[in-house]
Amino acid sequence: MILLEIFISFFQIGLFSIGGGYAALPLIEHQVLEVHKWLTMEEFADLLTISQMTPGPIALNASTFVGTKVAGLPGAIVATIGCVTPSCIIVLILSYFYFKYKNLSTIQGVLKGLRPAVVSLIASAGLSILLLAVFKTEGGTLMNMNLSDLNFLSIILIIIGVVVLRKYKLDPIMVMLATGVIGIVAYGLI
């Protein structure tokens, strides 16, 4: 029964994650945290970090990790298949129609109209992760947070990371590793 729930949840995620892995993050968050309560917000943030660092699409990695946590290896396989199946079906259908009607202005208009929705989905997921990193408490909203809840070390690391990436154009992997090491040392001492 749990394998069927996993498949259906990740099939829905795969079906409605228009715009790639990052656009799927709010959908994954909703299914995993709110609907089924398979993970806590902290575990979800850790899962996203691991999913970004491992090779492959983030949504696929996240589904595999959630499936593993919930139901072991069979859960990982079912979650991965559930996440991939809708995309395969949709891409086959859309590619047929795209190549048949790609010169129509209506098709171009639909594609341009989808871009803002995809950007908003990615921004929503990013804001959730940012709030988790910046505030010490879990699950709160911006309205009920206090200044005492701010995690100043995280804020400093975020600012340093953004400045180094934007101004000095350093390799993002090196910046992630450096801030990770700083975090390990700082949080180990605190």
Tokens 């975090």 -> residue: 183
Q: For residue range 109-133, list pLDDT tens digits in order.
A: 888 898 898 889 889 888 888 888 8
Residues 28 and 66 in one domain: yes
Share of the chain above pLDDT 90, in %: 44
Give me the sign of the Cα torsion angle 116, 122, 127, 128. positive
Residues 30 and 59 in one domain: yes
pLDDT, position 9:
95
Residues 50 and 121 in one domain: yes
Residues 89 and 155 in one domain: no
How far from 170 is each of 15, 48, 162, 163, CA to CA, in Å? Answer: 36, 22, 10, 10
Q: Which of 25, 8, 26, 31 is nearest to 81 (CA)?
A: 8
Residues 133 and 159 in one domain: no
What torsion do the CA atoms of 152, 156, 157, 159 make, to the nearest 10 degrees?
Answer: 130
Residues 52 and 134 in one domain: yes
The confidence band for 142, taking pLDDT boundaries of 50, 70 and 90, is low
In this predicted structure, the answer to whether residue 21 has a pLDDT above a threshold of 80 is no
Consecutive H or E run containing 126: helix 105-134
Residues 133 and 169 in one domain: no
Residues 141 and 158 in one domain: no
pLDDT, position 141:
60
Cα 62 from Cα 64, distance rounded (Å): 5
Is the model's pTM score more than 0.85? Answer: no
State phi, psi for 141 to the nearest 5 degrees. Answer: -110, 170
Q: How many residues are present in the chain?
A: 190
Residues 87 and 163 in one domain: no
Residues 126 and 180 in one domain: no
Query: What average pLDDT score do residues 173-183 get?
Result: 91
Chain-wide mean pLDDT for the chain? 87
Domain that includes residue 166, residue range? 151-190
pLDDT, position 159:
94
Say if residue 79 is exposed, middle or buried (CB neighbours under 10 Å; 0-12, 13-18, 19+): buried
Q: For residue range 42-99, list pLDDT tens digits in order.
A: 899 888 888 888 888 888 899 999 999 999 999 999 999 999 999 899 889 988 988 8
- Interhelix angle 21-29/2-16, rounded to 10 degrees, is 140
The confidence band for 24, taking pLDDT boundaries of 50, 70 and 90, is confident
pLDDT, position 177:
92
**8 A C-beta contact, residue 31 and residue 9:** yes
Q: State the total domains in the chain.
A: 2
**8 A C-beta contact, residue 87 and residue 24:** no
